[in-house]
Amino acid sequence: MQAVKKGEWLDVLITNEWVGQTVDTILKEKWKTPKKLLHQYRMEKNVQLNGTALSHFNMQVNKGDRLQIRLFIHEDYGVIPEYIPISIYYEDDHLLIVGKPAGINTHPNEGQGHTLANAVAFHLQSEGISTKVRHIHRLDKETSGGIVFAKHQLAGTALDLLLEKRQISRTYIAFVHGIVKRKCGTINERIGRDRHHPSRRRVSTSGDSAVTHYEVAEVFATHNITMLKIKLDTGRTHQIRVHLSYLGHPIVADKLYGGATARGLARQALHAEHISFSHPFSNEQIQVSIPWPEDLMNLYKMIRK
């Protein structure tokens, strides 16, 4: 697909790949546009073919046609833009991947500020972009790593669908107490609320299904610590922390789930270090690595000695 942003519009040059298909097929099957959004596009004349607004989308396209979709409309950010230093590891017209520092929430709760969403709003504002801040997934406040944001509504729905189908792969690194003997494994245990604690979760037969895959990356026998690589099939609150604690290997410095403190580390030793997926519009394979923050690097250097 050859596409370029032109003001509020995405201008797509039809190539051999899409010749003979209808606009409806392209929107529904290629870009996974939901019915409600399709209806909005029709009512607001947000789709054009060769500069002519379409009232229905059953028209076939030919090679060389230009399909225009009004994606980049003005929207309120939904949060107050706030300057917080962040790193952007990938960005195009449709999405961005941001490194979340430990110690801030992904998005505001009950109107609070100083979150990653506020920082992303400031970044967008500095680029002259006015659009709702749409995070596709989240990380716990004290977990660092990469988070995907959509830059318009259609990108948001497409990325949400990829996440739902487990087609956004996220790899985490965790330092845990004890020597994990199995080189790899899967924890398939349901997770629910802990009625004895307002924020803690626990393994519970009545909870939601949760699947965590792990493999041993490195063992530090002198310090009785193992470094794990982790991937998730589900995204339950505190899932990695709960499952590893249940396994008998709580994350280092994760006090809520039984981890002991570590020198120089004020939060759990958990980091989302890699994100990969197929771009919903270009089909390009996106592979982004998010460097370890200084506190985890210092922990790693210390326990390697």
Token pair recorded at residue 220: 């530090």
- What distance in Å separates the CA atoms of residue 159 and residue 292, rounded to the nearest whole number? 25
Q: Which residue in this structure is represented by tokens 């370029």?
A: 4
CA 251 to chain centre: 22
User: What would the two tokens of residue 7 be?
Assistant: 């003001």
Distance of CA 181 to the CA centre of its chain: 31
Paired tokens of 3? 């596409």
Name beta bridge partners: 219: 226
In DSSP notation, 178-206 reads S---SSEEEEE--EEE-TTSSS-EEE-TT
**Comparing C-alpha atoms, which of 108, 39, 120, 129 is closest to residue 83?**
120
List 140, 208, 233, 254, catalytic entry = 140
Q: At 171, list the tokens.
A: 């790899």
Alpha-carbon span 114 to 225, nearest angstrom: 33
Of 94, 145, 147, nearest in space to 117 by CA: 147
Whether 140 sits among the annotated catalytic residues: the reply is yes
- Give the residue carrying structure tokens 């509504």: 153
Sign, CA torsion 123/127/128/130: negative
Provide DSSP, 117-145.
Answer: HHHHHHHHHHTT-----EESS---TT-EE
Residues annotated as catalytic are 140
